[in-house]
């Protein structure tokens, strides 16, 4: 009898959608192939955080059912990608002596160096380290060592990237996924998953930032020399663009959502006066392409110039030779790459998942980069366990179902039909937005 295939499953708990990527492992090579992608609209998640447990559980169940139906196989074990609003990315150093006489570095030495680096962390109560990622090893003063195991020296130093999130965020995610009948094998912060899913090895080495703009959050992962230098989550995303359009143009959110997808940020001069007609509760309202694009562009500009720009400088890196790699649903906005490239003065490419060719059509766009990245994360972690430590996995250890060593776990009475009125509203809006961003940051 043919053995059941070993499945690796990544679950992306997003604000707009829950995605479930199923991969099958090849027994001979140990490599994994994506065989299906399930998805369902996400309810009960706002700005990346669970705000209604029951709705979130139902969304997870629907996405899982969709994935099981697609692959025709059942599974319970999942690795979950999630984000929160209060993520801290902290770098500390750890040093251990290997003795006066140089000797080969053992696993225990790396563990001790990681412990020393972790002891430097100041973790607020009710917070947990989600990931501890060594980003640089240094042996006897020589930095840039990829893997120190077996190398000879007398002093081992490392730089540790720790990602600290509120413990309650982690617990709510675990709780939600377990209530949906699944077993959490591991957790991954979404910007890390997005980087894994979208960034080429070459880009990661030369220096780049993956910016995953989803519905409620923007995840940023800054890489250089192949390692993550800073990972952060900003609670602003595509839903803000929709809300801006709804508020400024005084139209329902659902209409704003559709309108936003009809414009590009690189519209030809000649098309800016073209009219976009909407039927809003039986009344015809029209806006020009230029008006809509200006509102969208204003928010996108602020996200990148102010918020992303700030994160790039906090990373301490000044050069991004491979520029910005854009993922997430907002990356599908027409002309966004050239627009962001102008704003940040960096090269920009929009990124379908690296595994897009193996993913089902319609479920392999930029919004699935982080979802597919979960599978790559699991494989990388298996290959190089030291590289991706999950200290928070202790939160998973005592769960009833936990098994296995890998489980280290908006009434609209008046609508704006007059384009001059809309113009004034847009101007006020853009000024207010810019001001509020300046005050905030």
Ligand X SMILES: Nc1ncnc2c1ncn2[C@@H]1O[C@H](COP(=O)(O)OP(=O)(O)OP(=O)(O)O)[C@@H](O)[C@H]1O
| DSSP symbols for 299-366 | HHHHIIIIIIHHHHHHTT----TT-EEEESGGGGSBTHHHHHHHHHTS-EEE---TTGGGS-TTS-SG
Cross-strand pairs, 159: 93, 136
Looking at the Cβ atoms of 14 and 297, the one nearer to Mg ion is 14
Q: Is 237 in the site for ligand X (CB under 6 A)?
A: yes
Looking at the Cβ atoms of 239 and 244, the one nearer to ligand X is 239
* Encoded tokens for 112: 């001790």
Q: Is 261 in the site for ligand X (CB under 6 A)?
A: yes
CB under 8 Å to 390, separation ≥6 — which residues? 130, 131, 132, 186, 187, 381, 408, 409
CB 192 within 8 A of CB 230: no
In angstroms, give the least distance from the CB of 240 to ligand X. 8
Residue 260 interface partner, choices ligand X, Mg ion, none, CB cut-off 5-8 Å depending on type: ligand X
Which of 38, 48, 191, 228 touches ligand X by CB under 6 A?
A: 48
Q: Is 367 in the site for ligand X (CB under 6 A)?
A: yes
Which of 38, 134, 216, 290 touches ligand X by CB under 6 A?
A: 216
Q: Which residue is nearest to Mg ion (CB)?
A: 214
In angstroms, give the least distance from the CB of 49 to ligand X. 9
Stretch that binds Mg ion, among 14-22, 38-46, 63-71, 333-341 (CB under 5 A): 14-22
In angstroms, give the least distance from the CB of 237 to ligand X. 4
In angstroms, give the least distance from the CB of 316 to ligand X. 25
Stretch that binds Mg ion, among 122-130, 175-183, 214-222, 407-415 (CB under 5 A): 214-222
In angstroms, give the least distance from the CB of 218 to Mg ion. 9
Rounded Cα–Cα distance for residues 328 and 352 (Å) = 9
| Binders in 10-39 for ligand X, by CB under 6 A | 14-17
In angstroms, give the least distance from the CB of 299 to ligand X. 11
Q: Which helix (H) or strand (E) holds 256?
A: helix 253-260
| Residues constituting the chain | 441
CB under 8 Å to 76, separation ≥6 — which residues? 181, 182, 183, 401
Paired sense of beta strands 17-25 and 7-13, if any: antiparallel
Residue 39, helix vs strand vs coil: strand
Give the interface with ligand X as residue ranges (CB under 6 A): 14-17, 42, 48, 190, 214-217, 237-239, 242, 257, 260-261, 328-330, 332-333, 367
Give the interface with Mg ion as residue ranges (CB under 5 A): 14, 214
């Amino acid at each position: 009898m043919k053995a059941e295939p070993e499945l690796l499953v990544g679950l992306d708990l997003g604000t707009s959608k829950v995605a479930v990527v199923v991969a099958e492992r090849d027994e001979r090579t140990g490599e994994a192939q994506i065989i299906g992608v399930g998805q369902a609209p996400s309810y009960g998640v706002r700005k990346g955080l669970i705000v209604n447990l029951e709705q979130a559980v139902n969304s997870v169940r629907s996405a899982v059912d969709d994935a099981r139906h697609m692959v025709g196989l059942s599974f319970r074990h999942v690795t979950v990608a999630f984000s929160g609003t209060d993520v801290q990315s902290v770098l500390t150093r750890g040093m251990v002596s290997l003795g006066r006489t140089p000797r080969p570095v053992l696993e225990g030495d790396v563990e001790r160096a990681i412990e020393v680096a972790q002891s430097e962390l100041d973790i607020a109560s009710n917070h947990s380290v989600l990931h501890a990622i060594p980003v640089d090893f240094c042996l006897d003063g020589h930095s840039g060592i990829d893997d120190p195991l077996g190398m000879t020296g007398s002093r081992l130093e490392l730089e540790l990237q720790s990602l600290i999130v509120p413990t309650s965020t982690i617990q709510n995610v675990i709780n939600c996924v377990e209530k949906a009948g699944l077993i959490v094998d591991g957790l991954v912060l979404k910007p890390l998953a997005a980087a894994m899913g979208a960034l080429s090895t070459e880009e990661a080495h030369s220096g780049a930032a993956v910016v995953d703009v989803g519905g409620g959050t923007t995840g940023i992962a800054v890489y250089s020399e192949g390692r993550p230098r800073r990972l952060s989550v900003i609670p602003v995303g595509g839903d803000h663009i929709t809300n801006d359009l709804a508020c400024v143009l005084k139209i329902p959110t659902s209409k704003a959502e559709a309108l936003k997808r009809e414009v590009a940020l690189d519209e030809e001069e000649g098309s800016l006066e073209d009219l976009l007609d909407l039927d809003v509760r039986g009344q015809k309202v029209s806006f020009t392409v230029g008006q809509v694009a200006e509102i969208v562009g204003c928010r996108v500009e602020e996200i990148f110039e102010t918020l992303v720009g700030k994160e790039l400088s906090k990373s301490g890196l000044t050069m991004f030779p491979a520029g910005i790699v854009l993922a997430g649903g907002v990356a599908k906005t027409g002309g966004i790459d050239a627009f962001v490239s102008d704003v940040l003065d960096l090269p920009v490419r929009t990124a379908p998942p690296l595994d897009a060719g193996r993913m089902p059509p319609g479920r392999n766009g930029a919004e699935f980069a982080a979802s597919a990245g979960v599978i790559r994360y699991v494989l990388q972690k298996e290959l190089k366990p030291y590289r991706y430590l999950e200290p928070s996995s202790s939160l998973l250890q005592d769960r009833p179902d936990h098994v296995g060593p890998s489980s280290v776990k908006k009434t609209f009475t008046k609508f704006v039909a007059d384009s001059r009125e809309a113009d004034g509203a847009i101007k006020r809006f853009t000024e207010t937005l810019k001001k509020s961003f300046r005050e905030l940051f």
